[in-house]
Chains A and B, each alone.
Chain A
């Protein structure tokens, strides 16, 4: 009588015995998020939310909201870019984005006309940062032209640079670059696509 277990069976039983139960790894992930936040080493927390303009990616540092990404950009690509260009200490961790998600939800339900959020402009600098910080002063339901914005930030000749600053806004919707149009009323450009820009303007004008 063979009293030895076959090698194949030992190895397959080892795998079976060490398998996680359903839900175990999800629980461990949440525990990792919490410990990383407590240890101050979660540089970027992100999550995704569903909105009338598609799925949005929300990413935040300890200091505030860092990036909002549109589906058209490729949500994986947005996370990969943050990892490469900002910090690779990135975890999917919705908790840090709870308030952001709540306010964006209110915005799309026309119960909010301005955002009350801490913003982290680490991804911007120079003239772009100046323009992007100015954009929040354009009121809900109103628009300015690229040319007007250039004048208002004190550099009337920098119309194209204003266009670039809007196109590279890391925090669309919350920083309302969609409220900047061409002088002739044309939509200009938009990171999330012109249909998204039109949808946001329509949402605000119907309020």
Chain B
């Protein structure tokens, strides 16, 4: 498959994963470094490889380099709000969700991003974050549970 088709098919998914893992300010850099690195080694990728898992694995490695910076981002800055495409959420709701995502332990944030946004089965998630498949499943479930507790949309507060 020409690499152009790989980009066309996986562009959005990798973008979502990058945003969730490194945050809105560095997502473009993470996406760019992921696909440039992927292009470099693409000819050696076996035909039967899971391309999505391969890309998310590269994105994960790139994210590790970038994520320390993410921890320092002021989520109330306009970057977090303006970089978000969705118009149905209020700015304060966006900020609150970014705060919740950022507060997750790394393993939980990674597991949530790779399973729920990357669409990878837990067996692939486990290969990327380490540990067993069950542990990956628990990390994702704990991550979602933590988001449920900490992310209360402003609109529904006091309802």
Q: Which of A78-86, A98-106, A142-150, A155-163 contacts B (4 or more CB under 8 A)?
A: A78-86
Query: B148 contacts A35, CB within 8 Å?
Result: no
* CB proximity of B45 to chain A, nearest CB, Å: 9
Q: Which of A12-41 contact B (CB under 8 A)?
A: 13-22, 24-25, 28-29, 31-32, 35-36, 39, 41
* CB proximity of A14 to chain B, nearest CB, Å: 6
Query: B148 contacts A4, CB within 8 Å?
Result: yes
Query: A80 contacts B2, CB within 8 Å?
Result: yes
Report how far A41 CA is from B39 CA in the complex, Å. Answer: 7
Given A10, A16, A32, A83, which contacts B147 in the complex, CB threshold below 8 Å? A10
Query: A91 contacts B4, CB within 8 Å?
Result: yes
Q: Which of B12-20, B55-63, B127-135 contacts A (4 or more CB under 8 A)?
A: B12-20
**For the complex, is A125 an interface residue (Cβ under 8 Å from B)?**
no
Q: Contacts A11-B144, A39-B36; is A88 near B42 (CB within 8 Å)?
A: yes
**For the complex, is B32 an interface residue (Cβ under 8 Å from A)?**
yes
Given B17, B40, B97, B156, which contacts A41 in the complex, CB threshold below 8 Å? B40
Enumerate chain B residues within 8 angstroms of A111, measured Cβ to Cβ: none
Q: Contacts A18-B16, A89-B43; is A5 near B2 (CB within 8 Å)?
A: no
1/0 contact string of B1-45 vs chain A (CB within 8 Å): 111100100011001110110000000100110011001101100
Given A20, A35, A89, which contacts B32 in the complex, CB threshold below 8 Å? A35
Query: A5 contacts B43, CB within 8 Å?
Result: no
Query: B35 contacts A5, CB within 8 Å?
Result: no
Given A24, A41, A46, A92, which contacts B15 in the complex, CB threshold below 8 Å? A24
The total of chain A residues at the interface (CB under 8 A) is: 42
Report how far A19 CA is from B12 CA in the complex, Å. Answer: 8
* CB proximity of B98 to chain A, nearest CB, Å: 7
A-B contact pairs, 17 of them (CB 8 A): A4-B148, A5-B147, A5-B148, A14-B117, A16-B84, A19-B84, A25-B11, A25-B12, A28-B32, A32-B7, A32-B32, A32-B35, A41-B39, A87-B43, A88-B2, A89-B3, A92-B4
Q: Which residues of A contact B (CB under 8 A)?
A: 1, 3-7, 9-11, 13-22, 24-25, 28-29, 31-32, 35-36, 39, 41-42, 44, 46, 79-80, 82-83, 87-92
Q: Which residues of B contact A (CB under 8 A)?
A: 1-4, 7, 11-12, 15-17, 19-20, 28, 31-32, 35-36, 39-40, 42-43, 83-86, 88-89, 93-94, 97-98, 101, 112, 116-117, 144, 147-149, 151-153, 156, 159
